[in-house]
Amino acid sequence: MTARTGPLRVAVLASGGGSNLQAIMDYFREAGDARSADVVVVAANRASAGALDRARAARVPAEVIRDPSDGGAMTRLLESYRTECVVLAGYLKLVPPEVTARWRGRIVNIHPALLPKFGGAGMYGRRVHEAVLAAGETESGATVHQVDDVYDRGAIIAQERVPVKPGDTADTLAARVLAAEHHLYPRTLDALARQLITSR
């Protein structure tokens, strides 16, 4: 059997602005021929998601997920791009079990807190940072984790910590955590892609 070469084929799912998507696309583009992954499609559950504009600007196919609960349709969409790894970047819908099963060990998410704390259903956006501040935490951060059928429960792959500073608001803390996400996510995906490529 001949080993396949070339970058890992990554699909990114998003719901929002897509700044993590941008960080990921920029990182792999900048790596040029040495890159470990290519973003081959971006799919969003909202046609107005900024992530789709970022994809188009980068000349990456942009797709709208009509029914996020339709696992068969999502599987067909991802397979049509020969997706090897699924990356959630601000994707706010539960991924159907068919998809998590098909890409088990190859589907990851980033969460804007230090899991296992401050995760689970309803813990997204400002609410996460408000909860961190209300709990009087002295640090927060970003977590990259495997995705299974339960929100924010999969195995933790990597974390990056940031301090909670006196006088922080949810907005100032969110900005600090987001900067950590932009640093952590591409580098973690790079490491994961290199592992997955060797197991092709």
Q: What is the set of active-site residues?
A: 111
Q: Which of the stretches 34-42, 106-114, 151-159, 162-170 binds ligand GRF when contact is defined by CB under 6 A?
A: 106-114
Which of 110, 114, 115, 197: binder of ligand GRF (CB under 6 A)? 110
Neighbour order of strands in the sheet with 107-111: 62-64, 37-44, 8-14, 85-88, 107-111, 139-146, 156-163
Closer CB to ligand GRF, 19 or 36, in the complex: 19
H or E element at residue 171: helix 170-198
Judged by CB under 6 A, the residue of 16, 68, 119, 141 near ligand GRF is 16
With contacts defined by CB under 6 A, name the span among 38-46, 66-74, 110-118, 153-161 that binds ligand GRF. Answer: 110-118
Beta bridge partners of 145: 109, 156
Comparison of 142 and 196: residue with beta carbon closer to ligand GRF: 142
Q: Is 68 in the site for ligand GRF (CB under 6 A)?
A: no
40: helix, strand or coil: strand
State which of positions 83-102 bind ligand GRF (CB under 6 A).
Answer: 89-90
111 within 8 A of 143, measured Cβ to Cβ: yes
3-state helix, strand, coil in the chain (%, to 5): 40, 20, 40
Positions in 18-57 near ligand GRF (CB under 6 A): 18-21
What does DSSP assign to residue 33? Answer: G
| Residues that bind ligand GRF in the complex, under the rule CB under 6 A | 14, 16-21, 89-90, 110-112, 124, 178, 181
